[in-house]
Amino acid sequence: MNNIVNDALVDEVLRKTKTIALIGASMKEERPSNSVMRNLLKRGYKVFPVNPGHEGSEVLGQKCFAKLTDIPYQIDMVDVFRQSKAVPEIVEQAIKCKVKTLWLQLNIWHPDAEKKARKNGIVVIGNRCPNIEFRRQERLAKVTKI
């Protein structure tokens, strides 16, 4: 199977996704996970922060969960801000939760876990960031309006 993800698939995932579990959420404003979560919330997504160190607290006004399987809602997409070595366990939880999309942030990958996710019907988007994709979409929209 071709592992290259094209812009059209990314755009479709961002359009169809409603609920997102953000793995590795941080309370620190300077962290990329915090700015991505802030942007996703601003754009109307329901975002569930996941970080065992912040379990029960709030990150950007949202209750934080220890792990993906603790979230009592159906999750469309898992956005991963963790080291690559954490991806296999996240994939196991994503399969249990029947997640539609596994989104691995920039410089995060685990070929075996990604393959397992795909075998279980999960769309895998890797080495991309939603904030960058939203900027790409906005640039494209400006060009097409001219």
The full set of domains in the chain, from first to last, is 7-145 (3.40.50.720)
pLDDT in tens, 2-27: 445 799 999 999 999 999 999 999 99
Helices (H) and strands (E) in the chain, counts: 5, 7
For residue 96, the one-letter residue type is K
Q: Are 78 and 102 in contact (CB under 8 A)?
A: yes
Buried b (16+ CB within 10 A) or exposed e, 80-115: bbbeeebbeebbbbbbebebbbbbbbeebbbeebbe
Please, what is the average pLDDT of the chain?
94
Q: What mean pLDDT do residues 31-59 have?
A: 97
> Cα separation of 26 and 71, whole Å?
17
pTM confidence score: 0.93
Q: What mean pLDDT do residues 79-97 have?
A: 98
Asked if residue 110 has pLDDT above 90, the reply is yes
Least confident range from 4-8, 22-26, 35-39, 47-51: namely 4-8
Asked if residue 144 has pLDDT above 80, the reply is no
pLDDT above 70 as % of the chain:
96
Q: What mean pLDDT do residues 54-78 have?
A: 97
For residue 133, the one-letter residue type is E
Q: What mean pLDDT do residues 111-137 have?
A: 96
